[in-house]
A and B are shown apart, each in its own frame.
Chain A
């Protein structure tokens, strides 16, 4: 659901390992899902998206998995690099409605 002012959970990963960031969404009618990356002092940046008629989509080093049954979304980052350190937000959208953001996860890459 939408951010309600909770402090961000943190995921620490060794450089070179794979990262998995999880997200639960709230609206079963949402048909479009997006992952954003936000680096310190910057605006959110689009990473990858997926429509509800798919359960997996791959990009360059990133994969998004969608489980509509349990309303769960995950972002997998292969061979995590220091430049991947950021806050990652999942987001859901339906038609002309606003995009609703999850709480966010801070990814820390340990060199």
Chain B
């Protein structure tokens, strides 16, 4: 069981470029969650997805950010036209969706220069 796999581990983008963060959930998990974390701060919820559906996107900025979890393949968090303030660690977690917590990936650390 490989756990939750996120890639890349580190991503550097120039202002205005696009960032694509990938997350493959644990085997048997069909629910994926994305969280953002600034240094020395807690985890801020962004979006909750099931296969082909967005369940809760209340934490997603209205512009430039989007997420998907297609029928086949990993979940993608996409940030268009990145700005310095997007620099953070982005964590993905997965679960069975039955109210028993999550398993987290190791995160993608995005740096915008």
In the complex, are the beta carbons of A5 and B41 less than 8 A apart?
yes
Q: Interface-forming stretch among A11-19, A43-51, A63-71?
A: A43-51
B65 beta carbon closer than 8 Å to chain A: no
Count class of interface residues, chain B: 20 to 34
Contacts A3-B43, A8-B41, A101-B43 hold; do A32 and B101 have CB atoms under 8 A apart? yes
Of B42, B99, B103, B106, the residue contacting A95 (CB under 8 A) is: B99
Q: Interface-forming stretch among A54-62, A76-84, A86-94?
A: A86-94
In the complex, are the beta carbons of A43 and B44 less than 8 A apart?
no
Q: How far is the CA of A101 from the CA of B56 in the complex (A)?
A: 16
Contacts between chains A and B (CB distance < 8 A), count = 73
Which residues of chain A are near B107, meaning CB under 8 Å? 42-43
Count class of interface residues, chain A: 20 to 34
B113 beta carbon closer than 8 Å to chain A: no
In the complex, are the beta carbons of A99 and B102 less than 8 A apart?
yes
B49 to chain A, nearest CB (A): 11
Q: How far is the CA of A100 from the CA of B99 in the complex (A)?
A: 12
Of B55, B98, B101, the residue contacting A46 (CB under 8 A) is: B101
Contacts A94-B99, A95-B99 hold; do A102 and B42 have CB atoms under 8 A apart? yes
Interface residues of B in 72-109 (CB under 8 A from A): 91, 93, 97-107
B positions within 8 Å CB-CB of A: 4, 33, 35, 38, 40-45, 48, 55-56, 91, 93, 97-107
A-B contacts besides A42-B106, A97-B99, A101-B43, 7 pairs, CB < 8 Å? A34-B101, A43-B4, A43-B105, A44-B104, A93-B99, A95-B99, A96-B97
A positions within 8 Å CB-CB of B: 2-3, 5-8, 31-32, 34, 36, 42-46, 49, 89, 91, 93-104
